[in-house]
Structure 1
Amino acid sequence: MSASHRIDILDGLRAVAIMAVLLYHYFVKFADPGGPDPYPYAAAYAGVSIAKYGFMGVQLFFVVSGFVIAMTLARCTTISEFYLRRFARLWPPLLVCAIITFAALNVIDTNFAQQRRAMMLDLIPSLTLTSPKIWLWLNHNIRYVDGAYWSLFVEARFYIYAAIIYRWSAKGKFLRNYIIFSMTAVAIATLYRALLQDDRWYLIIDGLFYPAHTLWFAAGILFYEVWTGHIRLKKAIGLLTLGFVPLVYMLRTFHPDISVVPLATMSLIILLLFVVFSVRPEWLAPLRFRAVLWMGTISYSVYLLHQNVGLGLISLIPQRLPWWMQLGLVAAVSAAILLLSSVVYVLIEQRGKAMVLRHLLRSPPVGLQM
């Protein structure tokens, strides 16, 4: 495959992931049966599985990221080049979307916006892809401009460890070494939870090694190896089988209010999607529809904008309106977020990335899917 071409089904999978997250955030996450919430219609839809378990879209994003980062590392000549390309890909749209979110929360005057109104200090963890906890010495109320940014902190740690492990691994040993790293992190986290039950130490382990999520990235690397033909499907399925229980167990530690059965079911669906993608991509032809690919292409900007900006606008919808009219306005808000995300993608993601790479690498940017 030419380096100038994106893998279209990956964009299709990104579209599935962002739609799942949108449904979850716009219908379930902030529903409060005991009090006011930004969408009073949520009580009628919170039990719908496609919305209730939409948070699993983030796990789908992590698998896609593992696949893409393995592919990107194979094409970068140095660790510094890899980090510069990651910076050029992620930071320009993050800066713009964080500013848009900051402004929106301070302009919209609803309970939802007021509760999430950001201060200038909130831009520090948001733009440095770090945990707000390490900045509490500046202000004990510091947090992300948008709570959805938590997953960027997870991604950033994966980039750091993945690049180091890749460069220190002998040829063909990256997957093995990352699996060892992941399983070690999971084992340490499990032992601390079971034996010491010390939240302070567990927070340190979680902050360093992201054990609840690391196996999802490992799965993405595994599927890249299958896709390139370096590992046979039978061996990959064996590794997935061995890792499935710890993967679901650690996911349950992150979502303790969700039972094991739906978590295991949704996890299995995500992994099966990638099995099909790796060996029978033609079976996923619907993911190549133009509208789906467009949604996947702009998914990063959508993710950065959809929660606080989108729900801030949704919280303006009068509660006295009929439910069908409220849903129509939610659709209009969603369309507006997609339109704004498209603008950010064209003007910032594409042009900003090219400009940053041109200045930092001093060479024309390679058209990698990152």
Structure 2
Amino acid sequence: MNLPVGEGHAVRLNAITGLRWWAALGVFAYHVTNVATLPGSIAAAVRPGYLGVTFFFVLSGFVLTWSMRAGTPKRTFYWRRFARIYPLHLLTLLAAIPVFYSFHPDTADWWVKPFSIPVLMLSVFVIQGWWRDPTILFSGNPAAWTLTAEAFFYATHPFLASGLRRTRLRGALIAAAGTIAFAAICRIVIIGNPGSWFAGLPWPILRLNEFVLGMTLAWAMRQGWRFRVHPLAIIAVAAFYFIGIVKIPAMASIAAWTPEVATVLSAALIVGVASREIAGKSKWLGARPLVALGEWSFAFYLIHATFIYLARSLFGVQPAGLHSAAMVAGLLAASIVVSWLLHSFFERPVESRLRAWQAARMARSIR
């Protein structure tokens, strides 16, 4: 499919939606070790799960650029983004407060913070991610710090997309390569000056390259470019890297490059799967159960930490064996069921009503 610049509308990529679930599951697996003791090999396997956030940032740039329509007003774009993330964020924030805050916290429960309205208000306005102080960065619902980055990305997208629209295929691919090169230069600076002001910049700024890489590759695909590498090859490279930096002494020195490696691998997986789906070769990734899990993944991401730390408060850290296995299974099942309920009966209907309200308001304004 070759979409002329500024024309048409990209087809929905169900397999990409399905990939969201695996990224959310990786984040869950990483966090669940706070309540369940896993065998050494499994614990090592889930340790890179936090990089699911990197995948989400790259995917966000890709999806917004893949699906954008020419002529959409900025205010419409911003309202749709607000309708998409904020209502569910606010609801899950309210659910998280009793788990993560107390007027008299026990010092043994390190995840419980003193109740503070000013700090919580930063989370209400989704600006907590502009601080590096963990008490603020992970305030409210700890998982929601990423929404600060997403809000920043959303703010920049119409302006970045305006420049991207002026490029053709070669320009888009050069922009993608330039984004990777710029990220590499930033990493060199950070490695050489770990205490510098640059290394301490807020995460929304330092993570912008992930979002932009997704944007540039989506635009290249809209010009007809396809990534011909099989997704299984990309997964094999990822497995080799993450095993290698732990097991192969010669590779240990490149572990500092993990954020950049994960960004490139995430981008490669996204465009690889998207290319195969367009060619009709990734039907199982677009299967309805996986797509449904992907659609629920935002709710799953926002509520999973609350369930994990509630379980820790009630039952403590479970020892290795059946107790841990049962805890992981129970938390996963509960998180999936509640994410389905949230998506079906709150997230989706509220988003639809907010979008319809704006559409009606704009229609009245032009009469």
Calculate the TM-score normalised by the size of structure 1. 0.72
**CA apart distance, 1:67:** 1.2
Q: Distance in 1 between matches of 2:163 and 2:268?
A: 31
What residue in structure 1 maps to residue 344 of structure 2?
Answer: 346
Displacement of 1:288 after TM fit?
2.2
How far does the alpha carbon of each residue in 1:71-125 deviate from its partner, in whole angstroms, 9 at most, with x for none?
3433561111111110010101001011111133358x98547535654333322
Cα 1:353/1:69, change in 2 over 3 Å: same
Corresponding residue for residue 217 of structure 1: 211
Matched, 1:85 2:80: yes
Counterpart selection for 1:122 from 119, 124, 132: 119
Shift of 1:189: 4.3
Structure 1 residue runs without a partner (length 5+): 31-37, 237-247, 366-370
Measured in 1, the distance between the counterparts of 2:257 and 2:163 equals 38
Counterpart CA distance in 1 for 2:320 and 2:203 is 45
**Aligned with 2:27: secondary structure?**
helix
Q: 1:14 aligns with which of 20, 26, 34?
A: 20
* 2:64 alignment partner, SS class: helix
CA deviations over 1:272-293 (Å, ceiling 9, x no partner) = 4224223222443332233222
**Letter matched to residue 300 of structure 2:** V
The SS at the match of 1:145 is coil
Equivalent residue runs for 1:147-166 within 5 Å: 147-166=142-161
Equivalent pair of 1:135/1:142 in contact (CA under 8 Å):
yes
Structure 1 position 102 matched with structure 2 position 97: yes
Deviation at 1:232, TM superposition (A): 5.5
Of stretches 346-355 and 113-122 in structure 1, the one that deviates more from structure 2 is 113-122
Equivalent residue for 2:66? 71
In structure 2, relative to structure 1, the CA distance for the partners of 1:330 and 1:122 (3 Å cut) is farther
Q: Secondary structure at the match of 2:87?
A: helix
Counterpart residue number, 1:145 = 140
Aligned to 2:311: 313
The reply on whether 1:273 has 2:279 as its aligned counterpart is no
Alpha-carbon distance change, 161 to 187 in structure 1, aligned in 2, over 3 angstroms: farther
Deviations along 1:2-33, whole A, 9 cap, x unmatched?
Answer: 97974211211101111111111112xx4xxx
* 1-structure distance, mates of 2:220, 2:176: 15
Instruction: Supply the distance in 1 between the matched residues of 2:197 and 2:266 (Cα, whole angstroms).
Output: 32
In structure 2, how many angstroms separate the alpha carbons of the residues matched to 1:82 and 1:168?
A: 17
Contact 2:148–2:204 (Cα < 8 Å) also in 1? no
CA contact (8 A) 1:25 1:307 kept: yes
Q: Which moved more, 1:326-335 or 1:273-282?
A: 273-282
Kindly provide the CA deviation profile for residues 216-243 of structure 1, in whole angstroms up to 9, marking residues without a partner as x.
Answer: 2233223323433444658x9xxxxxxx
CA distance in 2, matches of 1:345, 1:147: 20
Shift of 1:177: 9.5
Residue pair 1:15, 1:299 contacting (<8 A) in 2 also: yes
Which residue identity does 2:211 align to in structure 1?
F
CA distance in 1, matches of 2:148, 2:71: 22
Contact 1:63 1:219 (C-alpha < 8 Å) held by counterparts = yes
Task: State the partner residue of 1:368.
Answer: none
The question of whether the paired residues in 1 share the 8 Å contact of 2:214 and 2:267 is answered with no
Letter in 2 for 1:23: A
Query: Residue 257 and residue 97 in structure 1: after superposition, are their counterparts in 2 closer, same or farther (change >3 A)?
Result: farther
Identity of aligned residues (%): 19
1:171 aligns with 2:166: yes
Distance 1:157 1:232, change over 3 A: same
Tell me which residue corresponds to 1:259.
Answer: 255
Equivalent residue pairs, number: 331
Contact 2:97 2:140 in 1 (8 A): yes
What's the CA shift for 1:309? 2.9
Find the counterpart in structure 1 of residue 301 from structure 2. Answer: 303
Structure 2-normalised TM-score?
0.73
Q: 1:314·1:333 contact (CA, 8 Å) conserved in 2? A: no
Which one-letter code corresponds to 1:317 in the other structure? F
Per the alignment, residue 327 of structure 2 pairs with: 329
Code of the residue aligned with 2:21 in structure 1: it is A
Long gaps (5+) in structure 2: 2-7, 230-240, 246-251
Give the Å deviation of 1:258: 8.1
Cα distance, 1:133–1:166 mapped onto 2, change above 3 Å: closer
CA distance in 1, matches of 2:130, 2:266: 31
